[in-house]
Amino acid sequence: MLLLLLAGSAVLGPLLRGSSWWWPMALVGTIVLVSAAVLRRTRVASALVPVVGLGVLLATLTLLFGQGTGLLWLIPTPDTIDRFGLLVDTGVSSIEQQSIPAEPIEGILFLLAAGAGLIAVLMDALALTLRWPALAGLPVLVPVAVPGLLLDEGASPVALIATAAAYLLVLRVDVRLRRVAEANGPPSGREAARVYSPVRRRAPGPSWAAVTVGGLGIVSALLLSSATPTISDGDLFAGGSSGPLFGAGVSPMIDLGQDLRRPDAGPALHYTTTAKTPPYFKLLTLDQFVGTTWTSRSDAATTSNTVDRIERPPGLSDEVKTTKTTTIVVIDGVETDLLPAPNPASRVEGLEGRWFWNNLTHTIKSTNTTTRGQTYTVTALELQPTAEQLRAARGRYPVSVAPNLKLPFPRPAIIAATAKSVTEGAASDYDAAVALQDYLRGSAFDYDTDAPVEDGYDGGGLDVIGTFLEVKSGYCVHFSSAMAVMARSLGIPARIAVGYLPGSPSSSAEDDTNRYEVDSHDLHAWPELYFVGVGWVPFEPTPGRGTVPDYARPADATTPEDVPASAAPTTAPRSDDGGITADSGAVPAAQARQQEAATLLRSGLFLALVLALLLTPGVVRLARRLRRRRRILSGSGGPADAWAELADTAVDHAVRVRGTETPRELAGRLALRPGLSGAGPSGSGSPGAGSDAAGSDAAAALERLLVAAERQRFARPGSEEQGTGPAVCHDLDLVIGAIRTGADTGTRIRAAALPASLWPAVLARRDGAASQGA
C-alpha cells in the first residue's frame, strides 16, 4: 500500500515545481502506514487502528509544521491549531492564484502532507480493517485524477502505469495472503468445500485476473486522462467564482496569456463613463512573492468595508488633483467573485450580493456571489498628479507598504544590473520609474504572446523575468513584472495590477457619455509604484498596449532604449529620508545565518525522522524478542515462546519456514546449516556430532529445545518436565548465535534492520509452523 501511495502521489509532479514537495508526502504516508502495521502486530483492536492512525497523523503534522507550538513537539495545542489554520488559508490562497507549475510553499506542502496522511489512513482502513483491499486504490484516485482535470496533456503515462502496477501488486499480495491463510486453516465441517476429482483449470487464475483488471485500468486511466477536458480550458474569468485548483479562477500569469492567445475574443463587459480618459478596470493586485512567483496577500473580507462607502486611498494628499467620475458597467461574459472597476473607487451601487473592498489594495470582492449578470455604477477618483509632485515625493513609507519592497533571494543578477544601468543618473524615484517604463517600451523589446511559450519562459516569476530581459520579447505579464521587480531592486515599492484595458469605443453614444466594449483580448497586467503623498500610481511599460499616463511622459525624460545585459551597476541603492532603504539584493548576515540555521535544523530533523523510520522494524523485532525472553524467564512462557523466537530468527536469516512442516522437520533443516552442521535431532536422519565444540553445544541446545517443545505440546497436562527459564534462554541463545554465525554479513544486516518475520506473508508461514511447535 505504501508503494501505491508513493506512486499515486508522484502523479502530481507536473503541477508543482521541483521534487521537494514529494518528500513530505512520502514521509507522512510512510509514518502513518508503518505505525498502523506496528499497532496491528501489538494486537491493538482492528477497529481502533484508523483512529490511532489519525492521532499519529496529527502528531506528525505537529512535528513537521507546528514550529514548536506542540507540547513536546508532538501533541497539538491551541496555538498549533491556529498555525494549521493559517497554513490552510495560505495554501488554498496560493493554489487559487498560482499558475502551473506552482511553487510549493509551506501552506501547499502542509495540504499535500495532510492529504497523503489521510489517504494512508483510508487505505489502511479499507484494506485491513474492512478487509476490502480492492477498494484501497480508491483514495489514491484523488491525486491521480487532478492532473487530468488541469492539464491539457493530462497526467504522465509513466506515473499512471507505475501507480497501476503498484495497485496490481496490492491485489497480488492479497491473493497470496488469502491462499496462505486457507492453507494454514482450511475450512472444516459441513460447509467445507469438497473436491471429488482433479479438475483442469481452464479459466484464468487469480494472478491473470488481477493482471487483466489492472491492464484494463491502465488503458482506461490513459484514455480518461487524455480525453477529460481541463478546468483551465475556459476563459480566465468565466469558470466560476474562483476555481478549485491551479489554472481555474484568477491564475493571472499563465492563464492571462492563454486567454490573450485565443484566436476568438469573447465579450467581457461594456460601460459608459463620464471620464475624459477611459479607465482601466482593476480586478486583482499581486503584491507579494510565493517562492519566485507573484501572488496576492491574503486579506480576509471585513464586513464593515461595504462598497456603499469606500475610503480615500491612504497616502493620497489633498494637493493631488482628482476628478470624480461615474461609470455604469454591464457584465457580458465575466464570471468571478472579483469586481472589475475603475480604481480607486469611492462608491459602488446596484450590485447584488455581499461585496467588500480590500484595505490594502482597494480591490472589491464578494463572499457569496459573482459578477454574472450584474449591472452596477462605480463612482471613482481619476488621479492627476503632476511630474513635479511625483519627483518631489519623499519621506518614510507607511508600514503597510514595506512588504512591497521585498524580493526573493537568490534571483537572476540581470534584474538588478539592468535596473541600475537603465536608471543611471536618475535624480528621483519618479525619474527612475519613467526610465524603466521607457526602456521597456523602447524599440529593443517586442510584444509577442507566443514567444514565451515557444521558448519556455511563460509566466511572471523572477527566473522567467531574467530570461525575458535577455530575450526581450513577451507580453503584458512580462513587461509589468519586469518593471515591478526592477523598481523593487531600486528601493521603490511596486506591485502588479490585473484587470482589463479600457476597450474599444462603441458606435452608440448617449448624452455626453462614451460607451466602450471590452472583450477577453483586453485582459491586461500593469505595474503600480508607490510615491509618498500620492499613493499607488499606475504605469504602462507594455509596448502597443494601453496608454501611457500624462504624468509618466515628462517633456525632459530621455532614457536609453537598449542596455547590454552584462552592464555593471554604477550607482548604489538609495534610501528614503529616515524611511525604508532599497533592497540591494543581498541578504543581511544575521538573516543569512538565521536561514542557514533553520535549514540545518529542518535537514537534521528530517534525517532524524528518516533514521528513526529505518530503525523502526529492527526496534519492533527487538521488542518482541525481549518480551518473549521475559515470559520465558518468568515461567509464563516456556518452550513455546522459545520455539516461536527460534522460528522467527530462522525466517529473519533467510530460512524458509513451511506452514506444513513439523517442528522436528524444521529442526532437521536447521541442523544442516553452517554453525549447526551435523547437529540433527535424533530420528531426523541428520549427521551426528558437530565439527567443533561450539557446533556440538548448539546442536545439543537445539535438541533440548525441540524435545521441550514437543513435550509441552503432546504430554499430558501437568506431566511435562520443562527446564527452568534461564536454562531455556541459555539454549535459545546458543542456537540463535549459531544461526547468526553461519549466515553471511549481508544476511545478518538484513535480519537486524529489516527482519522478514515482521512481514505478513512470511508471518503467515511462520505462524503455521510455530503453532505446531507451540
In 497-652, which ranges are continuous DSSP H helix?
589-634, 639-652
In the prediction, which pLDDT does 227 show? 47
Residue 699 has pLDDT above 90, yes or no: no
Which grid cell is 497?
A: 495590477
pLDDT tens digits, 265-294: 788 999 999 988 899 999 888 888 877 778
Cβ atoms of residues 482 and 253 within 8 Å: no
Burial 430-449 (b: 16+ CB within 10 A, else e): bbbbbbbbbbbbbeebebbb
Identity of the amino acid at 774: A
Check if the beta carbon of residue 631 is closer than 8 Å to that of residue 739: no
* Better pLDDT: 19 or 510: 19
More reliable by pLDDT, 643 or 246: 643
Tell whether the model's pLDDT for residue 41 goes beyond 60: yes
**Category of 122 on φ-ψ map: left (φ > 0), alpha (ψ -120 to 50) or beta:** alpha
What is the arithmetic mean of pLDDT over 567-571?
A: 34
Q: What percent of the chain is predicted at pLDDT more than 90?
A: 22
Q: pLDDT by residue (tens digit) across 80-121? A: 898 898 888 777 767 766 656 677 878 888 999 999 999 989
Q: 442 or 682: which carries more pLDDT confidence?
A: 442
> Of the ranges 71-75, 135-139, 310-314, 548-552, which one carries the lowest mean pLDDT score?
135-139
Residue 351 CB partners (closer than 8 Å, separation 6+) = 307, 339, 374, 376
The SS3 call for residue 474 is strand
Q: Residue 646 — left, alpha, or beta (φ > 0 → left; ψ -120 to 50 → alpha)?
A: alpha
* Alpha-carbon gap, residue 470 to 726, rounded angstroms: 80
Look at residue 130 in the predicted model and tell me its pLDDT.
80
Residue 685 has pLDDT above 60, yes or no: no
The mean pLDDT value of the chain amounts to: 76
DSSP 8-state secondary structure symbol assigned to residue 300: P
Instruction: Assign 188 to helix, strand or coil.
Output: coil
Q: For cell 504624468, name the residue.
A: 551
| Coil, strand or helix at 516 | strand
And the C-alpha cell for 148? Answer: 487530468
pLDDT of 97: 61
Per the CB < 8 A criterion, the answer to whether 279 and 502 are in contact is yes
**In DSSP terms, which residues pair with 183 in a beta bridge?**
none
The residue among 281, 284, 300 whose CA lies nearest residue 251 is: 284
Q: Answer whether 377's CB lies under 8 Å from 348's CB.
A: yes
Q: What is the pLDDT of residue 231?
A: 42
Residue 650 near residue 663, CB atoms below 8 Å: no
Percent of the chain with pLDDT over 70: 71
Q: Measured in whole angstroms, how far is the alpha carbon of residue 240 from the centre of its chain?
A: 24
- CA dist., res. 140 & res. 117, Å (int): 11
Residue 574 and residue 4: Cα distance in Å, rounded? 56
Lowest mean pLDDT among 254-268, 471-485, 737-751: 254-268
Residues 6+ apart with CB under 8 A from 355: 306, 307, 339, 348, 364, 365, 366, 369
With CA atoms as reference, report the closest residue to 17 among 407, 293, 410.
Answer: 293
pLDDT-derived band at 772, boundaries 50, 70, 90? very low
| pLDDT tens readout for residues 488-527 | 999 999 999 999 999 988 865 554 457 899 988 888 999 9
Band of pLDDT at residue 11, cut at 50, 70 and 90:
confident
Give me the mean pLDDT over the 189-210 stretch.
46
pLDDT of 58 higher than 60: yes
Report the 3 state secondary structure along 64-83. HHCCCCCECCCECCHHHHHH
Q: What is the pLDDT of residues 731-745, one digit of tens each?
A: 888 888 888 888 888
Least confident of 126-135, 392-401, 502-511: 502-511
Q: For position 326, what pLDDT does the model report?
A: 94
State how far the Cα of 286 lies from the Cα of 404, in Å rounded to an integer.
10
Supply φ then ψ for residue 430, to 5 degrees: -65, -45
Where in the chain are the domains? 2-183+208-229, 252-385, 391-496+525-584, 612-773
For position 531, what pLDDT does the model report? 94
Which residues are CB-neighbours of 717 under 8 A, at least 6 positions away?
A: none
Contact 678, 671 (CB under 8 A): yes
- All cell numbers assigned to 620: 519492533
Instruction: Answer with the residue of higher pLDDT: 29 or 680.
Output: 29
DSSP percent split of the chain into helix, strand, coil, nearest 5: 50, 15, 40
Q: What is residue 202's predicted lDDT score, i.e. its pLDDT? A: 44
Pick from 176-185, 236-245, 357-366: least confident? 236-245
Higher pLDDT, 769 or 728: 728
CATH 3.10.620.30 for domain 391-496+525-584, yes or no, is yes
Q: Which residue has the higher pLDDT, 591 or 182?
A: 182
Instruction: Encode pLDDT of 306-344 as tens digits.
Output: 999 999 888 888 888 999 999 999 999 888 888 999 989
Indicate whether 184 pLDDT > 60.
Answer: no
pLDDT value of position 273 = 92
